[in-house]
Structure 1
Amino acid sequence: MSRRLGALAITAGLAVAVTGCSGGKVRPAASARTASFVYSFNLNVVTDWDPATSYSNEIIAMQNVYESLTRYDSASRTVKPRLAEKWTRSADGKVWTFTLRDGVKFHTGTALTSAAAKKAIERTVAGKGGAAYIWDPVKTIETPDPRTLVFKLKYAAPLDLISAADYGAYIYDTAAPGGGDLKKYLGQGHDTGSGPYTVAQWNKGQEAEVRLGQFKGYWGGWSGAHYTGVEFRDTPQVTTAWQQLRARDVTYVHRLNPQLFAQAKSTGGIGTQATPSFQNLLAFFNTAAGPLKDVALRKAVQNAIDYDGLVAALKGSGTIASGIVPNGLVGATTSLALHQNTAEAKRLLNQAGYGPGKKSLTLSLTYAQGDDDQQTFVTLLSSALKQLNVTLRAKPMQWDAQWDQAKNRDAAERQDIFVMYWYPDYPDAYSWFTNLFRSADPVNFNLTYLDDPGVDKRIDALPQLTATYRTSAQQAYEDLQRELVVDKAVVAPLFVQQYQRAFAKDVGGYTDDPAYPNVVFAYDARPAS
């Protein structure tokens, strides 16, 4: 069950390679004064057009083109209908029955049926890419009639949540028009989704990278005010994006720096929104080799971190983390926030023979090059550790280089501390635990290198608890977090990212849902009349 690079690149600010072919000549950029919603993003949008394997920045376009059976509403913490209008589950949580909407058509003109939906899921699973692992609980899919999907599971799991995943849950036509190769067809900037918009143009490498056009046959209809097109621009410089927003050349900027966001809040014609996310920054400690193999030293580093100072320095773009699981998900707890305790850090260092008046200690840390928030954390930690006779060799690196070091077969060559963002593939805390703390050989995203059969067993029980006994699941998550954060001290949750958006004030109906990071569901928004 792996988390791929692309999903992390969104938050780490890394450049990602774009695959596929150009969609043609660049059209003039759409104006925000037309019926197009113009989204300014700081990276290339598309890395993979295939809904089976997509796992990166293209989520901001794909969620407007493709749909899943359900959709999670973070505000109400409930699962809502999408392509499935209703669903039921058996008492043991191992049989789920979904009833599809009637009258839905893919952009290819093919009707959505249970057989088509089954083919899409089976193709995603067979591809073994992206977030395909979310379907691991499924043993069989049955289609007793054209509108009914029956999932029989190997073990109880919250399939309503899984079906709402931000990646890997798309339902799509598995047949390319004319019977050609689907992978090739998609890679040329086409789609086979059922959403309100369809891919109109892909200008690989250009500023106006992606344009989506209205799918007039959309099952939701087009009565009332709607944006009939969406444009995604690649604008690396935040100051440029801000200027374009003020000039009304773009509708929406997904993130400004704290200074510009403060300015946006007092600028006429500009709306702002700050939303707690499901995305957090974590510092992983190497438990397999090096100094931090000693739990006392891990706890010393934990206590040296100025968590409150870090959040203050972020000026609203981050909030205090309380444990591993952000608020809004089963497993979130209010009693696990960490705070700096320099005296305790000194005591623990001394206990291990290090610190002021004793041996000096050197630790290595890597973090994402170009990420200002991570740089702020490193600066604060370096200063705090220096006062404790600890030298932090912190190195900003591109993701691939960090990843290669973290996966070195020689555990002693790996980082002592690895800094990385995480957010769930579907709105459930399980993603953090199965990916980040369950033992794996070879190492995948478990960058603490923890190998604890007892922890593994408890992680494996989480999906069934969530599906059948949510109160017990809540307690299990809380207990696991106390063990990992407090007792074993394998990780330091640093902060939860606070999304700070700026957009044209006359955009109506816009809400930010952290279950779908950086996504604007343009169909739900309303242009000015």
Structure 2
Amino acid sequence: MREARSGQRRAPRALRRALTAGIALTTAVSLAGCAESQRGAGGGEGGTLTFGAAGAPDLFDPFYASDGETFRITRQITEGLVGFKPGTADVEPELATGWEETPDGKTWTFDLREGVKFHDGTDFNADAVCKNFERWYHQTGAGQNNALSYYWIENFGGFADGEKPSLYESCEAPDPTTAVINLTRATSKFPDMLGLPSFSMQSPAAMEKYNANDVKAQGDSFVYPEYARSHPTGTGPFEFESYDQSNGSIKLVRNENYWGDKAKVGELIFRIIPDETVRKQELESGSIDAYDFPNPADIKSLRDSGNEVKVRDPFNIMYLGITQKNNPALRDLRVRKALAHAVDKQTLVKANLPEGAKAATQFYPESVDGYADDVQRYEHDPAKAKQLLAEAGQQDLTVNFYWPTQVTRPYMPDPRGIYNALAEDLKEAGIEVKPVSKPWNGGYIDDVDNSKADLFLLGWTGDYNTPDNFIGTFFGTTTNRFYTEASPWGAELADRLKKADGEPDETKRNEMYQDINRDLMSKYLPAIPLSHSPPAIVTSPRVQGLVTSPLTAEEFASVSVSDQ
């Protein structure tokens, strides 16, 4: 996830792999030469960094997690075979120093970093890699629940004893520094997906000691084992120390035996402060040093007070979703094109989104492979919208328009304001709008998923830098928020996305995705891409060294906190 900044195109994957091989060789040499001076020696500077978290983590085992607050913490504790270059969304070596794939894209050989220890003192090696993969693949009972193993199911598919096929086939450890992962098919997502926190490496010894797989369903929730509650054990620059639920405080401490540059602070504290206004007050009082997603309306006052507001590169998409199930008019492509012409994206971006936001022409940022520069564009043209509606016999079109309350998303900082702007655009084109607002976790997502909304606001922040992580997630199945059996394009599009994801030749795959993006905007138009929005993070003047991530996946080992 990194170095592909907005406005820049990412290097072709084949070139990136060659660069990765070079990085691996250089890294191996440089690590051997400077382990004493830069990586193995030279401790941190001490002190404490306190971060104001918007919510409580569900647990501390990243494999069973799917929420950002858990990942924000476990990302400091655990590491994956691959990581993401700081400040970008591009993959780079982490616990692996390099990798090779076979021409069919099914067998991947990873060269592993030597001398790495888990926090419990056990060795990270190829056997540990295979035990992690086998743990994920052999989940049983509650462990196969989509709410627990969400990222495995989304990326790898089924389990060893399940009916659904799995992308994963096997893992081999021919020697301690070589791990071979065998897949059942090629996919454009590999190895990038291994940078997700859910697929980070954890100590097999600690997981066995604290019964990591002993998770049980209890009604609509789960009971987690001791490992997930208080013993997460990775290789990262911070170690887990405690979670005081009485005051909502999670404490991590510096890993003094870390293989890389040691963390610059001795302690990393996460304080759970759900109210954004309170987080701002706590920052201004000096009780916390940083927090995420400040209200855009507060940015000027925060900066005027001497704080630093860092704006991440946008790696997301907000779109106006169109459900075709209940409203037959929306099955007509002319009607969907009329909606696209009705929307004034440029004004929306300027009036309702943070500085640096951009109007979107397709369903992912231009830094992702397969982006097409020549897609059909829909300029704001109410007269053209009315003409298309008339041609379709829908001059009196009425739609229900869902928008969420009690939520702020990186791509959607002000749902009410965004809804109001779009509703006015639609009314200007002669479309009657019936608003429906519901809490994000109080009916909104359920209604959208169950196709009750004609139009709806939704979006996505990329997990990693591949086309399938965006448009494959949105449109890769016929059981999605947009498709209805009355619209045969759904099955066709899903099949094309599957073939593109499975194409091992990078050049051909990118051409396939470009063709899909062109047709998404002209032939299918299942939704209307609106904008890419840069989410912000704020730090006090005492904080130095924070490198922001377009994936909102900051790592805090580089951060120091001054006494002033």
TM exceeding 0.5: yes
Residue 491 of structure 2 corresponds to which residue in structure 1? 453
Matches within 5 A, 1:117-136: 117-125=129-137, 126=139, 127-128=143-144, 129-132=149-152, 133-135=154-156, 136=166
CA distance in 2, matches of 1:107, 1:34: 19
Q: Does 1:218 align with 2:258?
A: yes
Residue segments in structure 2 that go unaligned for 5+ positions in a row: 1-44, 157-165, 215-224
Q: Does 1:61 align with 2:100?
A: no
Residue 319 of structure 1 corresponds to which residue in structure 2? 358
Residues 478 and 243 of structure 1: CA distance in aligned 2, closer, same or farther (over 3 Å): same
Q: Does 1:144 align with 2:174?
A: yes
| Paired residue secondary structure (1:93) | coil
Residues 391 and 330 of structure 1: CA distance in aligned 2, closer, same or farther (over 3 Å): same
Are the counterparts in 2 of residues 462 and 476 from structure 1 also a CA contact under 8 Å?
yes
Residues 142 and 72 of structure 1: CA distance in aligned 2, closer, same or farther (over 3 Å): same
Residue 12 of structure 1 corresponds to which residue in structure 2? none
1:390 aligned to which of 425, 431, 444: 431
Q: Does 1:276 align with 2:313?
A: yes
Are the counterparts in 1 of residues 109 and 178 from structure 2 also a CA contact under 8 Å?
yes
> Which of the pair is proportionally richer in helix?
2
| Paired residue secondary structure (1:435) | helix
Residue 345 of structure 1 corresponds to which residue in structure 2? 385
| Paired residue secondary structure (1:52) | helix
The structural deviation recorded for 1:353 is 2.4
1:97 aligned to which of 109, 113, 122: 109
The structural deviation recorded for 1:160 is 5.5
Residue 159 of structure 2 corresponds to which residue in structure 1? none
CA distance in 2, matches of 1:34, 1:392: 57
The structural deviation recorded for 1:393 is 1.8
Identity of aligned residues (%): 22
The structural deviation recorded for 1:331 is 2.5
The structural deviation recorded for 1:244 is 2.5
TM-score by length of 1: 0.83
Are the counterparts in 1 of residues 402 and 436 from structure 2 also a CA contact under 8 Å?
yes
Are the counterparts in 2 of residues 45 and 209 from structure 1 also a CA contact under 8 Å?
no
Provide, for residues 502-526 of structure 1, a one-character-per-residue CA deviation record: whole Å limited to 9, x for no partner. Answer: 21344333211223x2x32111223
* Equivalent position amino acid for 1:324 in 2: F
Residue segments in structure 1 that go unaligned for 5+ positions in a row: 1-32
The structural deviation recorded for 1:174 is 3.5
1:522 aligned to which of 545, 556, 560: 556
Provide, for residues 185-235 of structure 1, a one-character-per-residue CA deviation record: whole Å limited to 9, x for no partner. Answer: 1332321222111222223374x432212222222253xx70122112222
* Equivalent position amino acid for 2:379 in 1: H
Are the counterparts in 2 of residues 53 and 124 from structure 1 also a CA contact under 8 Å?
no
Are the counterparts in 2 of residues 72 and 427 from structure 1 also a CA contact under 8 Å?
no
* Equivalent position amino acid for 1:316 in 2: E
Are the counterparts in 1 of residues 89 and 465 from structure 2 also a CA contact under 8 Å?
no
Residues 464 and 524 of structure 1: CA distance in aligned 2, closer, same or farther (over 3 Å): farther
CA RMSD between the two structures: 2.6
The structural deviation recorded for 1:303 is 1.4
The structural deviation recorded for 1:34 is 7.0
Matches within 5 A, 1:290-301: 290=327, 291-301=329-339
Residues 161 and 271 of structure 1: CA distance in aligned 2, closer, same or farther (over 3 Å): farther
Provide, for residues 12-36 of structure 1, a one-character-per-residue CA deviation record: whole Å limited to 9, x for no partner. Answer: xxxxxxxxxxxxxxxxxxxxx9722
Residues 380 and 298 of structure 1: CA distance in aligned 2, closer, same or farther (over 3 Å): same
Residue 188 of structure 1 corresponds to which residue in structure 2? 229
CA distance in 1, matches of 2:277, 2:548: 22
* Equivalent position amino acid for 1:275 in 2: R
CA distance in 2, matches of 1:155, 1:319: 36
CA distance in 2, matches of 1:153, 1:177: 25
Provide, for residues 288-332 of structure 1, a one-character-per-residue CA deviation record: whole Å limited to 9, x for no partner. Answer: 331312222211112111111111112426322131011322133
Provide, for residues 115-160 of structure 1, a one-character-per-residue CA deviation record: whole Å limited to 9, x for no partner. Answer: 1111112222334412113234332211111221011222223565
CA distance in 1, matches of 2:302, 2:415: 24
CA distance in 2, matches of 1:311, 1:335: 21
Are the counterparts in 1 of residues 87 and 550 from structure 2 also a CA contact under 8 Å?
no
Aligned length: 477
| Paired residue secondary structure (1:276) | coil
* Equivalent position amino acid for 1:280 in 2: I
Matches within 5 A, 1:340-489: 340-355=380-395, 360-370=396-406, 371=408, 372-400=413-441, 401-408=443-450, 414-440=452-478, 443=479, 445-449=480-484, 452-465=490-503, 467-469=504-506, 471-489=507-525
The structural deviation recorded for 1:178 is 7.6
| Paired residue secondary structure (1:220) | coil
CA distance in 2, matches of 1:265, 1:180: 46
TM-score by length of 2: 0.78
CA distance in 1, matches of 2:188, 2:115: 27
Residue 179 of structure 1 corresponds to which residue in structure 2? 209
Q: Does 1:499 align with 2:535?
A: yes
* Equivalent position amino acid for 2:359 in 1: I
Q: Does 1:242 align with 2:312?
A: no
| Paired residue secondary structure (1:198) | strand
* Equivalent position amino acid for 1:504 in 2: S
Are the counterparts in 2 of residues 143 and 149 from structure 1 also a CA contact under 8 Å?
yes
1:209 aligned to which of 249, 263, 275: 249
CA distance in 2, matches of 1:272, 1:327: 25
CA distance in 2, matches of 1:68, 1:99: 13
* Equivalent position amino acid for 1:48 in 2: L
Residues 70 and 460 of structure 1: CA distance in aligned 2, closer, same or farther (over 3 Å): same
CA distance in 2, matches of 1:320, 1:477: 21
CA distance in 2, matches of 1:506, 1:474: 45
Residues 332 and 475 of structure 1: CA distance in aligned 2, closer, same or farther (over 3 Å): same
The structural deviation recorded for 1:455 is 1.6
Are the counterparts in 2 of residues 295 and 488 from structure 1 also a CA contact under 8 Å?
yes
| Paired residue secondary structure (2:286) | coil
CA distance in 2, matches of 1:205, 1:319: 42
Are the counterparts in 2 of residues 121 and 171 from structure 1 also a CA contact under 8 Å?
no
CA distance in 1, matches of 2:93, 2:184: 24
CA distance in 2, matches of 1:315, 1:277: 11
